[in-house]
Amino acid sequence: MEEFKAEKVIDEFEELTKDAGRVQRETLKKILEDNASAEYLQKQGLNGRTDPESYEACVPLVTHPDLEPYIKRIVDGDTSPVLTGKPIKTMSLSSGTTQGKQKYVPFNDELLETTLQIYRTSFAFRNREFPVRNGMALQFIYGSKQFKTEGGLFAGTATTNVFSSSQFKTTMKAIESPCCSPDEVIFGPYFRQSLYCHLLCGLIHHNEIQLVSSTFAHSIVYAFRTFEQVWEQLCADIRDGVLTKDVTVPSIRAVMSKLLKPNPELAERIYKKCSGLSNWYGVIPALFPNVKYVYGIMTGSMEPYLKKLRHYAGDLPLLSADYGSSEGWIGANINPKLPPELATYAVLPNIGYFEFIPLRGSAEEDRQDKIQSSFESKPVGLTEVKIGEEYEIIVTNFAGLYRYRLGDVVKIAGFHNMTPKLQFVCRRNLLLTINIDKNTEKDLQLAVEAAAEVLAPEKVEVVDFTSQVDKLTDPGHYVIFWEISGEVSDEVSSECCNCLDRSFVDAGYISSRKVNTIGPLELRLVRRGTFQKILDHYLGIGGVLSQYKTPRCVNPNNSMVLQILCSNVVKSHFSTAFG
Ligand code: AMP
């Protein structure tokens, strides 16, 4: 195996970013040349031109539904050049938690290679600040089942397509982060059994574990919440060298039996460590003494889990992983020392062609209008973005997506050489709107954070949350669903409700509330385990824990999730904040 040379990776990154404008033009040229025979591109009248100006003039901005007819043909087995020059053999199936609906996006070797380039780049920078050596990673990663579409293509979630490639394993070894769990565990059919065995593998290798990670930080929090419940069973398994009967998958049992040997001394040590913890604070370093950091995507919809993650991580640094999507990766975190709340992602100018639709005007209201407006500013190129401004990002990748609206809003935090460093702001989809009010995922998150402060003195926290616009009442109103970690008095929960209502600072919302064209905000507390049921529902329809993001706003036609929420309400309050 070729040795990983961090300095070489960093030098290459410096070269690419110093000349980001040129690299972008070349990347676009390469994408258009490689795929010149694709039916989709042929239709656009480029006639062999590959410059950004012609590209922008000929090729429309699209969203997933625009491409669905093409993608469907590929999924059904059309091997002619539809979206790409070379036929697509694999599809990524998005988890559908952000859009509420699963969708296929093409996956190919080029996309895999760009993913690994991102991993290598951020590792090179990370390892300068937080070196790991000859270690293992406790990775809470889960492969979904890869299946064959009717047309004979392989399909799985994007993470599964990456995890199951041989290049992924080679790269993880090269960057000193091989997963401590065997493949049978990663690709097991039941995520609870896989999670249990990930924890067990981690404990068996406790001294070698140098980092704890997952794709999205939610899975790490989820894993240690589970640990709180199963730790005694884990100790028993280690003591006796026998895997609990709850793990039933024969291939997992077989592989775990090779790893598990009776070790009463280790079991006792873990037992003592756990018993000595106060409310599980610092459980990660307590169990894994050589861990250098905790690693996973921690921005955007993952921010609400940071508090709990910090609690479990004690004094270990939390490092946000990179920025990307099933449609392709975008940027690497090259400043790992920044706390996750400030994490930025430097765009790799050779992994795709990127454009940015300006969203932000001078005033906040203007930005909100632009987020919604159908009259949009013209997109600008990667090197033309301005620091402090917000943009919607448009992706052209090596796997058949041309000028594809990802639906994410990013802010330019600065530049590394000529390439921008992006801060993730939110999904562009508006979450909550009744009339002139406009609140995004980020606004909801901030309101929930503010109201959660009311719970803090009670030592109770918000486990998870989502929202809904209820237009069946007259006037319509916002409904926020909360699962909290303990009991609180009616007085406290009603104050949380008022605080939520007051914390939406959007001018349209406040003015509508004042004149009651939006009714009092409703807080509904749901039973413990409700969000687990929502997760189970998504896993049941083919999602995978590695890519799971709690839906922050439930669409009225998402009847299953609404039913889960509504049938688990234990109490509700209407705000009195506006009299
Ligand atoms: P998926 O549909 O599972 O491919 O998820 C892709 C989406 O996850 C992106 O479009 C973003 O909205 C979100 N995402 C990915 N990486 C990050 C990140 N570093 N910070 C915040 N959100 C992210």
CA of 436 to the centre of ligand 1 (A): 28
What is the distance between the alpha carbons of residues 328 and 351, in angstroms, rounded to a whole number?
A: 8
CA of 157 to the centre of ligand 1 (A): 13
DSSP designation for 343: -
Q: What is the pLDDT of residue 410?
A: 95
Question: Does ligand 1 have an atom closer than 6 angstroms to the CB of 445?
Answer: no
Question: Does ligand 1 have an atom closer than 6 angstroms to the CB of 367?
Answer: no
Question: Does ligand 1 have an atom closer than 6 angstroms to the CB of 323?
Answer: yes
How sure is the predictor about 362, in pLDDT bands with cuts at 50, 70 and 90? Answer: very low
What 3-state DSSP class applies to 414? strand
Ligand 1 atom closest to the CA of 327, numbered from 1: 4
Q: How many CB atoms lie within 10 A of CB 525?
A: 21
Cα distances from 132 to residues 141, 199, 290, 309, in angstroms, run: 20, 20, 9, 21
Question: Does ligand 1 have an atom closer than 6 angstroms to the CB of 297?
Answer: yes
What is the distance between the alpha carbons of residues 76 and 78, in angstroms, rounded to a whole number?
A: 6
Question: Does ligand 1 have an atom closer than 6 angstroms to the CB of 114?
Answer: no
Ligand 1 atom closest to the CA of 326, numbered from 1: 4
DSSP designation for 439: B
**Secondary-structure breakdown of the chain: helix, strand, coil percentages, each rounded to the nearest 5:** 40, 20, 40
Q: What is the pLDDT of residue 229?
A: 95
What 3-state DSSP class applies to 395? strand
**Per-residue pLDDT tens over the stretch 408-457:** 999 999 999 999 999 999 888 767 888 878 888 889 999 999 999 999 99
What is the distance between the alpha carbons of residues 19 and 13, in angstroms, rounded to a whole number?
A: 10
**Per-residue pLDDT tens over the stretch 15-73:** 999 999 999 999 999 999 999 999 999 999 999 999 999 999 999 999 999 999 999 99
Ligand 1 atom closest to the CA of 97, numbered from 1: 2
Q: Which of 1-5, 116-120, 216-220, 519-523 has the lowest mean pLDDT?
A: 1-5
What 3-state DSSP class applies to 199? helix
Rg over alpha carbons for the chain, rounded to the nearest Å, is 24
Query: In testing the pocket of ligand 1, which one of 161, 216, 297, 319 has its CB within 8 Å of the most ligand atoms?
Result: 297
Query: In testing the pocket of ligand 1, which one of 323, 445, 548, 550 has its CB within 8 Å of the most ligand atoms?
Result: 323
Given a cut of 70, is residue 526 above it in pLDDT?
Answer: yes
Q: Which comes out higher in pLDDT, residue 191 or 70?
A: 70
Closest to 138 (Cα-Cα) out of 315, 307, 287, 310: 287
Question: What is the side-by-side strand order in the sheet with 462-470?
Answer: 462-470, 477-484, 522-526, 569-574
Ligand 1 atom closest to the CA of 96, numbered from 1: 2
Tokens 């969708």 identify what position? 103
Bridge partners (DSSP) of residue 484 are 462
Question: Does ligand 1 have an atom closer than 6 angstroms to the CB of 219?
Answer: no
How sure is the predictor about 360, in pLDDT bands with cuts at 50, 70 and 90? Answer: low
Q: What is the pLDDT of residue 2?
A: 63
**Per-residue pLDDT tens over the stretch 243-301:** 999 999 999 999 999 999 999 999 999 999 999 999 999 999 999 999 999 999 999 88
Nearest protein CA to atom 5 of ligand 1, as residue: 325
Residues 444 and 43 sit within 8 Å (Cβ to Cβ): no
Mean pLDDT of the chain, nearest integer: 91
Nearest protein CA to atom 3 of ligand 1, as residue: 547
The pairing of strands 353-358 and 380-381 is antiparallel
Given a cut of 60, is residue 372 above it in pLDDT?
Answer: no
CA of 408 to the centre of ligand 1 (A): 8
Ligand 1 atom closest to the CA of 98, numbered from 1: 2
Question: Does ligand 1 have an atom closer than 6 angstroms to the CB of 40?
Answer: no
Given a cut of 80, is residue 76 above it in pLDDT?
Answer: yes
Q: What is the pLDDT of residue 101?
A: 60
Q: What is the pLDDT of residue 374?
A: 47
CA of 549 to the centre of ligand 1 (A): 9
Q: What is the pLDDT of residue 474?
A: 86
Q: What is the pLDDT of residue 363?
A: 43
What is the distance between the alpha carbons of residues 313 and 109, in angstroms, rounded to a whole number?
A: 36
Give the alpha-carbon dihedral of 35, 40, 43, 48, to 10 degrees.
Answer: -10
Q: What is the pLDDT of residue 487?
A: 93
Query: In testing the pocket of ligand 1, which one of 98, 119, 335, 425 has its CB within 8 Å of the most ligand atoms?
Result: 98
CA of 35 to the centre of ligand 1 (A): 26
**Cis link prior to 475 (omega < 30° from 0)?**
yes
Q: How many CB atoms lie within 10 A of CB 214?
A: 26
Question: What is the side-by-side strand order in the sheet with 293-297?
Answer: 136-139, 209-216, 293-297, 318-320
Bridge partners (DSSP) of residue 345 are 422
Question: Does ligand 1 have an atom closer than 6 angstroms to the CB of 94?
Answer: yes
How sure is the predictor about 150, in pLDDT bands with cuts at 50, 70 and 90? Answer: confident
pTM value is: 0.86
